[in-house]
Amino acid sequence: MNILLCSAGRRVKIVQYLKESLNKKGGIVVTADCDSKAPALYFGDKKELIPRIDSQDYLNEVIRICKKHNIQGVISLIDPELETLAKNKELFDEIGVSLVLSPFKMVQYCFDKQETYNYLNAINIPAVPTYSELESVLLLLDKQKMDFPLVVKPGKGSASIGINIVNNLTDLEYTFSKDDNLIIQPYLKDREYGIDVYIDMISGEMVDIFIKEKLKMRSGETDKSISIHNKEIEGLIKSFMLKADFAGPIDIDCFEHNGKYYISEINPRFGGGYPHSQEMGCDFMEYIVHNLEGKINEAYTSYQYEENIVMMKYDDVVLRKEK
């Protein structure tokens, strides 16, 4: 079995974990990226350069690579690519390639933070209130139903780029006027958690869950975290998954505020803090391989990991000679 890992970027550990699962069965990982200097590109069994996602040649090239390497499954690690792949699922179905990815409608909900909140609110899942109109927030402030600090950030942003915390009306109006497609949220973050979830691609059942408290972030990714067991978060995620239509790996951000829990963001892909889950025995790579082999993974029953274990990331380097 061969898997194409698109937009590998800096996710070296993801490539290594996937290789470990595939190589022992005679399969390979083909890494692909539009940047020839993406570090993870050089950790696959084979590598391919692909056009940028916004190129008209992007899909044709990915399809060509799938045929060339007899690919059975495609995984992407960045948000914009998820939408492009999910929208064109039938092209991959036609050549017998499975996308390790949730349905297009779920990807759309996740990519737009206003849509994320609207969706969660519609299915009665606690979420961080999100507003895309300044007038609505001003009215709530005037009625004392909202208070500072507030968070202003891009509605379709990622990697924590463009996030601003404002503490007064003047800063709010100025910051919100600086760009289009911004959203406003109350600052609900006494503590922050990351939850890795795997949903079986065949049965639709939740297979595994890993909960970590985020201790330190860097460039939008979890740099240090500690594994925890939390009945409230576990129950929230189980309830959410019963109502949703996800498939494969999911990365969920959750805030605790005044003893209550609110989902902040959903990424229908591997998150930057996933290595903590893998190292603790929540082997999503094995679940993916099983599903691509046509096997159903056992449904979730309880935690499979020890709590109070800290993950600490560190940097490494890759050297290569330019041709």
Q: How far is residue 187's CA from residue 184's CA, in Å, rounded to a whole number?
A: 9
**End-to-end Cα, the chain, rounded Å:** 31
Q: How far is residue 114's CA from residue 129's CA, in Å, rounded to a whole number?
A: 9
For the chain, residues with pLDDT lower than 50 are: none
* Residue 316: per-residue pLDDT: 86
- From residue 124, alpha-carbon distances to 25, 46, 117, 236 in Å are 43, 45, 10, 11
* Cis, peptide link before residue 149, omega less than 30° from 0: yes
* Residue 34: per-residue pLDDT: 96
pTM, to two decimals: 0.94
Q: Which domains does the chain have, with CATH numbers?
A: 2-100 (3.40.50.20), 129-186 (3.30.1490.20), 189-312 (3.30.470.20)
* Residue 322: per-residue pLDDT: 80
DSSP state of 43: G
Q: How far is residue 176's CA from residue 133's CA, in Å, rounded to a whole number?
A: 9
Q: How far is residue 205's CA from residue 247's CA, in Å, rounded to a whole number?
A: 9
What order do you get walking across the sheet with 191-199 strand by strand? 260-267, 248-257, 191-199, 206-218, 221-227, 310-312
Average pLDDT, the chain: 94
pLDDT tens-digit profile of 263-279? 999 999 999 999 999 99
* Residue 180: per-residue pLDDT: 83
Q: How far is residue 241's CA from residue 239's CA, in Å, rounded to a whole number?
A: 6
* Residue 162: per-residue pLDDT: 73
* Residue 226: per-residue pLDDT: 98
* Residue 157: per-residue pLDDT: 66
* Residue 158: per-residue pLDDT: 62
Nearest to 278 by CA among 13, 39, 92, 62: 13
Amino acid at 246: F
* Residue 46: per-residue pLDDT: 97
Q: How far is residue 45's CA from residue 54's CA, in Å, rounded to a whole number?
A: 26
Contacts of residue 165, defined as CB under 8 A and 6 or more positions apart, other chains included, come to: 149, 150, 151, 152, 187
